Amino acid sequence: MQPLVNLADFVATFPPESLPVPTKQTISTLMLDLIGAAGAGLHSPLARAARASALSAYGEGSVTIWLTNQKSSVVGAAMANSAAASALDIDDGHRGAAGHAGAGVIPAALAVAEAIGGSSSEIFEAIALGYEIALRVASSRPAESVDSYASGRWVNYGAAAAAARLLKLTANETAHALGIAGGEGPIVFTAPSPKFEGSTIKEGIPPAVVAGITAAYRAREGATGPLDLFNDEARFDSNILLGGLGSSWEAQNCYLKPYACCRYMHAAVDAIISMRRSGTEIKTLRINTFPQAMRLANERAPTNLEGAQYSFYFNCALASLYGAEELQPVALERLTDERVLEVANLIELVPSPEFATAFPVGTPARVFLDQGDGVKEMLVLHPLGDVANPMSKEQVVHKFMNITENLGREWQEDLVAAALNFEEGGLSYLVSSLAATKHDVSPTERGRAVAV
């Protein structure tokens, strides 16, 4: 049997009501975290454009565009929600995949479920299976074969798997859904072209969501796709694709991000935050990193939030001056903060032989910081949020409250309860909590300056 067909069979035949309790708890946390990311990114130019184009291109419908009073079609709403969730680069990720599954899988699953109905168990299963397929596909690629780590290259498979499960497709239909999603998913960009990361294209997650959802619906109607996409062992390691399916869940191996910037720099930011003394001048700041990090745009003076997210210089300067709160999320006015730009210009970023083989399993950093009393050094192997250094539930909720303060306390608390108690409250409670109409707030009324 071909690997893609094996994966499809797993998606279609996984026994209902058998997802482990810890996995469901993880998914509830991932849902809360992603809704928080969407709230933080709601008023970004990327998300605004996605919402407007969703209504114009995909039409009005019955599916909620999160945290607004607008509704679109299944695809339109999922695309818009995915764009908001991935706008500020504060969404969950996975080390083996070197990218973000949640911003594709969760909006796809919730949009399809809202359109056709679904129990808490069915939605948990769809999300778990979507993460599993997306992350196995991404992780199975040998490093030497990867010409782009953009998440849009593989999250389409997860969106298709989640949609197929909710639509109750057969194993054969699910296989074709995966084939269509893979054959028609976004190319995004290939290396070397890091400057694209300073545009609203980012990692191509929203178009991957469109490709994945439409693939499932088309497969249901008899459309077919290539089933041999994963047959080449030089491009997809079958042991990683298929080994131990169902014995563990990759969703539980995801990291959460405390800062609104690329994960590559979180270890450095952690070290800087640990060593910094408020109000102290930064004399020198050197960051030893892994070679892959040098492929980011790394602009010293980025002109937009997308460019800022992919800059070691900017984020490390911001962290050194203002601490963690200024990265939850980044305020637009910090792009022109003279103090930040001054420190960004003195930072030295060096690819270190010490970390030559670290990526993608790890994203470590060694930081050397002089605040006037000599150089202090700190090594961070596992940044906050990693599986080896996880955020507590309290830290996840604290992050959520910080990055969504534009919503107001009552709405925030409603969303926390709806996500963390999803098994009991179900889809109707979550969907009503995601709608601005419940809280009598317009989509822009409480827009915080950081996200405009």
For the domain bounded by 263-380, which CATH number is listed? 3.30.1330.120
The answer to whether 419 and 32 have CB atoms below 8 angstroms apart is yes
Q: Strand, coil or helix: what is 448?
A: coil
**CATH architecture observed for domain 3-255:** Orthogonal Bundle (1.10)
Q: Which of 294, 330, 339 is nearest to 312 (CA)?
A: 294
CA distance 64 to 436: 10
Q: Which residues are CB-neighbours of 258 under 8 A, at least 6 positions away?
A: 266, 324, 327, 328, 384, 385, 391, 395, 399
Q: Is the pTM for the entire model greater than 0.85?
A: yes
Q: What is the bridge-based pairing of β-strands 347-351 and 284-289?
A: parallel
Q: How buried is 232 (Cβ within 10 angstroms: 0-12 exposed, 13-18 middle, 19+ buried)?
A: exposed
Domain ranges of the chain: 3-255, 263-380
Token pair for residue 217? 């619906």
Residue 324 to residues 34, 178, 207, 229, 260: CA-CA distances in angstroms?
Answer: 19, 40, 31, 42, 10
The answer to whether 435 and 64 have CB atoms below 8 angstroms apart is yes
The answer to whether 293 and 352 have CB atoms below 8 angstroms apart is no
The crossing angle, in degrees rounded to 10, of helices 21-41 and 102-116 is 100
pLDDT tens-digit readout, 232-277:
999 999 999 999 999 999 999 999 999 999 999 999 999 999 999 9
Q: How buried is 428 (Cβ within 10 angstroms: 0-12 exposed, 13-18 middle, 19+ buried)?
A: exposed
The answer to whether 155 and 101 have CB atoms below 8 angstroms apart is yes
CA distance 10 to 175: 10
CA distance 268 to 279: 20
* Chain length of the chain: 452
pLDDT tens-digit readout, 321-350:
999 999 999 999 999 999 999 999 999 999
Q: Could you read off the pLDDT tens digit of each residue along the chain, which spans 452 residues?
A: 899 999 999 999 999 999 999 999 999 999 999 999 999 999 999 999 999 999 999 999 999 999 999 999 999 999 999 999 999 999 999 999 999 999 999 999 999 999 999 999 999 999 999 999 999 999 999 988 988 889 999 999 999 999 999 999 999 999 999 999 999 998 886 655 555 456 777 889 999 999 999 999 999 999 999 999 999 999 999 999 999 999 999 999 999 999 999 999 999 999 999 999 998 999 999 999 999 999 999 999 999 998 999 999 999 999 999 999 999 999 999 999 999 999 999 999 999 999 999 998 999 999 999 999 999 999 999 999 999 999 999 999 999 999 999 999 999 999 999 999 999 999 999 999 999 987 765 544 333 333 22
CA distance 324 to 260: 10
